[in-house]
Amino acid sequence: MSESEEMYLVSIARLKEADVSSPVPLSHLADSLRVLPVSVNQMVRKLEENGQVVYTPYKGVDLTPEGKAAAMRILRHRRLWEVFLVNELKILPGEASEVACKLEHVIPSGAAERLAEFLGFPSQSPTGKPIPAPEGESPVIGDMPVSQLTVFESGVISRIAGDPQVAEFLRSETLSAGSVVQVLASGSHGNLLLQTADGRRIHLSGVIAEAIWVYPKE
């Protein structure tokens, strides 16, 4: 499958994720990809011939199970790269998204899973978008507030549920999806003392701490 074909599948999946009506109108797809409607028509017909989409005249396009699986695989690669670029290279989320869009097409699935393991199996991108599960696996569920960890228990951050200012503050403290933290102490009003994987200790107020959700780390 060409990079252009992959971009169409991912764009359809992202529009559906954004609650665009289903089937997705071709005009929405053209706007998302910034291409002419005639180009969208040509590509949609090609994808339909390949069994990746179903096109309903005058209504729009939807993914087949095969098309959805391909879109989720590529979207998983993109969002894993976003986590890596933001958490490890300290690139701002907007720029990271642009770079990840290029990298998503070139990384083999096996290497992507090694990347997921390195990152601590994050469930969300730095902007809070869900990271699709590997092919054939159900999404991981069951995260909980970091305050529910016991003292000396560790967890992998699954998401930041606070407002954008809270998320930005926590990123400045290297706390974002995929980061590993350990609770060293808990105080009144939900205050927490956390330790990061590199040994740094971070004091958080209860208001800030309640924005952090984790998966307990075995």
pLDDT tens digits, residue range 50-87?
999 999 998 999 999 999 999 999 999 999 999 999 98
The CA-CA-CA angle for residues 41, 44, 49, to 5°, reads 125
| Residues 5 and 48: beta-carbon distance below 8 Å | no
**Token pair 């003292």: residue:** 151
What residues does each domain of the chain span? 3-63, 144-216
Segment (H or E) for 186: strand 180-186
What average pLDDT does range 181-194 have in this prediction? Answer: 92
pLDDT of 85 reads 94
pLDDT of 159 reads 76
Percent of the chain at pLDDT exceeding 90: 54
Q: Could you tell me which of 129, 124, 120, 130 has the C-alpha nearest to residue 182?
A: 120
Identify the bridge partners of residue 60 per DSSP, sorted by sequence position.
56
Tell me if the pTM is above 0.75: no
3-state secondary structure of 183: strand
pLDDT of 55 reads 95
Q: Could you tell me which of 77, 54, 80 has the C-alpha nearest to residue 67?
A: 54
**3-63 to CATH, choices 1.10.10.10, 1.10.3720.10, 3.40.50.300, 3.90.550.10:** 1.10.10.10
pLDDT of 34 reads 92
* pLDDT digits 0-9 by tens, 111-132: 999 999 898 888 888 877 888 8
The CA-CA-CA angle for residues 77, 87, 150, to 5°, reads 105
Residues 6+ apart with CB under 8 A from 34: none
Phi, psi of 90 (to 5 degrees): 60, 35
* pLDDT digits 0-9 by tens, 140-171: 556 788 999 999 999 888 778 767 788 788 88
Whether cis (ω within 30° of 0) applies to the bond prior to 23 is yes
pLDDT of 11 reads 94
Phi, psi of 205 (to 5 degrees): -70, 160
pLDDT of 162 reads 66
Q: To the nearest whole number, what is the mean pLDDT of the chain?
A: 88
| Residues 115 and 80: beta-carbon distance below 8 Å | yes
CA Rg value for the chain: 20
Distance (Å, whole) CA 93 – CA 114: 22
Domain 144-216 has CATH 2.30.30.90: yes
pLDDT of 20 reads 77
pLDDT of 177 reads 76
